[in-house]
Structure 1
Amino acid sequence: MRTFHVHSFALLLLAACPGGDDGETDGAPTTTSSGATTEPATDGTSEPTGTTDAATDTGETTDAPGTTSAPTTGPLDTTTGTTTDSTSTTGTTDTTGTASTDGTDTDPSTGDPAMLPGDLLDLTNWKLTLPVDTDHPGSPDEIEQPELATFVDPLYYHLNDTLDGVVFRAHAGGDTTDNSGYPRSELREMTDQGAEEAAWSSSRGTHRMFIDQAITHLPVEKPHIVVGQIHDDEDDVIVFRLEGSKLFIDLNGDDGPVLTEDYQLGDRFTVAFEVSDDHVDCYYNDTFIYSHPQAFSGAYFKAGAYVQSSCQGEKEVPGESCDAYGEVVIYDVSVEHT
């Protein structure tokens, strides 16, 4: 098991959501250097406030209770949600904090309650894209290491009320990346301690991503969201997607296997991708579901809330409010390459 390095900081207190249309190659409140917007969310499921009708296209054309273990039929460790190999792109440290007596996770180095996303998730080799475009680097804003290690945003990226999961939220009026018309609050896989963008091949090695998560909110008019992706150098390859209550595997616009027809918001579940020999094996709640044959390169993993609805631009959904949003809570995410 890896030992997770964390940072214990005081949480900033401030006044004041892909069938074939998710698009991706990869406004609102201003974020500060510490990652906080000028308008706080009142809880883990409240509507964002103070958003603006921001720019339209994003960047990736593509681009409760459940189990918390990884697939028992796959190569992932069922007790930790990570694989046993130590050559992870997310470092060689434990990806979770230590549970406290009141059920919240704690910083293992101090025993104090987790206060930041970086206290719960190993963010060493990730960067974060937010659904806002401020004067922060990136368009829309991108939070990279080392800033990501201590970053929090009370609207779009923060701990949940029970301090055991990280909330990712994106609203239908959010800013988007260049080749997508949909907003996101989403992690993108990196390498070299977060300094370089990951780009690997389906034909060489074995590549795995595990996510323990719950979807907690959807946009109103088009209640669709992508919650885990493999993207290559041109488009999305395969994603986990929710449309209303149908949770399924999407194959770059084609419906793949259905995981459940009756997903209830707040239900916690696990998913995993494992790529080797030009196949993607997919797992849901510890069970192998499907193997997708496809060769691709320049690949990387993504995890978070990639909303598939917009109130503006080419992807505008009639009647969708710009304040409508999608939200995902991630309890654990890990990546391994062998």
Structure 2
Amino acid sequence: MKISKLKYIPVVVLFIFSLTNCSSDNDEPENQEQDEGDTTDGDITDGDGETTSDIPYEVLELKNWKITLPRDFNNDGIADEVYLDKSRNDFEGDPSFKTYKDEFFFVKNKNVLFSCPSLKDIPTTGNSSNTRSELREMPSDESGEKGWDANDNSIKTLDFKVKIVQTSSTKKFAFAQIHDFKQDVWDDILRVQIQSDKPNAVEGDTGRIYLLGDVIEGRATDGFPIDFRNSNYADRYIKDDYVLGEWLTIKITIQNSILKIYLEDMNMPIRTYTNITCKSNYYKAGVYNQSVNLDSNGNGIAEFSEINISENF
């Protein structure tokens, strides 16, 4: 099955100016991008201090990220990426990430939804057969692909609030990750995943939240400092009674080669892993479908109300 190209959905940003100015909207794609500096000249909050924007970047107050999308507008055979610096975008018709939205990454109910189909023919990245609508942590100076060292004394933090809205027929997807950029021994260091009890689950259905990745599956014989599988694999489930649609508050930290994962209680980690010696890492958040195959169907959908990250590099 061949994926049909989606029409580019124009981004319309509402500016509220002083009485001496005027506002205008332009529906032409080539005019959608805004000044690469501040995109919030007007007030984007209501009387209660809540955002009224329909731009995901503004709603989540994102800073140092790019997004990988389940589409291929530039026809290079891999998923498109959208950057803060629009000159780096894979598809030149995309605006800066500061004003980007589409059917895979959009605002609803004042939160941001990530949606990703699990069909086999959906474009994905060059090193994975699984599809994604997912943020990737980037350097604060927007200077390309870099990673932070898990061994140093600074605390590298990702915290977020999420609810799982829907799973595909595969029943599972990762909604937060840590990767090693250079991938010498370490690769997908951590994946925080949903596994629903039935395929194509929706809100109200049941499932489990669990951990996978090198800190759970790595073997000493493969070059890891310890045999993680023997130590941790049986303890990979962190919430056995999850109901889709319930909000989760999660925090992940790495400092001095120690990885900690917090669920609901931000003062007491639910899991701690040592010997995390990888040196070129980055966080990811969104929807990364697992086990996409010829027969899989449906979308993984996750809704985020917060995504916060420390200044890691």
Matched with 1:167 is 113
RMSD: 2.5
In the alignment, residue 244 of structure 2 is paired with which amino acid?
Answer: L
Matches within 5 A, 1:1-338: 27-30=3-6, 32=8, 34=10, 98=45, 101=48, 105-106=50-51, 113-135=52-74, 139-146=78-85, 147-153=96-102, 155-160=103-108, 162=109, 164-173=110-119, 174-204=122-152, 205-220=154-169, 222-232=170-180, 233-234=182-183, 235-244=187-196, 245-252=207-214, 254=217, 255=233, 256-286=235-265, 287-293=268-274, 294-312=276-294, 319-321=295-297, 324-337=298-311
Q: 1:114/1:134 Cα in 2 relative to 1: closer, same or farther (>3 Å)?
A: same
Residue 172 of structure 1 contacts residue 320 of structure 1 at CA under 8 Å; is this kept in 2? yes
SS at match of 1:263: strand
Shift of 1:100: 5.0
Shift of 1:238: 1.1
Task: Write 1 or 2 for the structure with the bigger share of helix.
Answer: 2
Q: Distance in 2 between matches of 1:120 and 1:178?
A: 30
Shift of 1:192: 3.1
In the alignment, residue 50 of structure 2 is paired with which amino acid?
Answer: D
Residue 68 of structure 2 contacts residue 80 of structure 2 at CA under 8 Å; is this kept in 1? yes
Gap runs ≥5 in structure 1 = 1-26, 37-96, 107-112, 313-318
Identity of aligned residues (%): 24
In the alignment, residue 290 of structure 1 is paired with which amino acid?
Answer: R
SS at match of 1:261: strand
Q: 1:303/1:137 Cα in 2 relative to 1: closer, same or farther (>3 Å)?
A: farther
Q: Distance in 1 between matches of 2:173 and 2:307?
A: 18
Shift of 1:28: 4.0
Larger Rg: 2
Alignment: residue pair count = 233
Q: Distance in 1 between matches of 2:75 and 2:50?
A: 30
In the alignment, residue 135 of structure 2 is paired with which amino acid?
Answer: L
Q: Distance in 1 between matches of 2:174 and 2:291?
A: 11
In the alignment, residue 165 of structure 1 is paired with which amino acid?
Answer: N
Gap runs ≥5 in structure 2 = 13-43, 86-95, 197-206, 218-232
Residue 28 of structure 1 contacts residue 133 of structure 1 at CA under 8 Å; is this kept in 2? no
Q: Distance in 2 between matches of 1:269 and 1:277?
A: 27
For each residue in 1:128-166, what CA deviation from the matched residue of structure 2 results, as whole angstroms up to 9, or x when unmatched? 00011112889311010041000000x201011x1x211
In the alignment, residue 209 of structure 1 is paired with which amino acid?
Answer: L
Q: 1:325/1:118 Cα in 2 relative to 1: closer, same or farther (>3 Å)?
A: same
In the alignment, residue 237 of structure 1 is paired with which amino acid?
Answer: I
Shift of 1:125: 0.7
In the alignment, residue 105 of structure 1 is paired with which amino acid?
Answer: E
Q: Distance in 1 between matches of 2:146 and 2:47?
A: 34
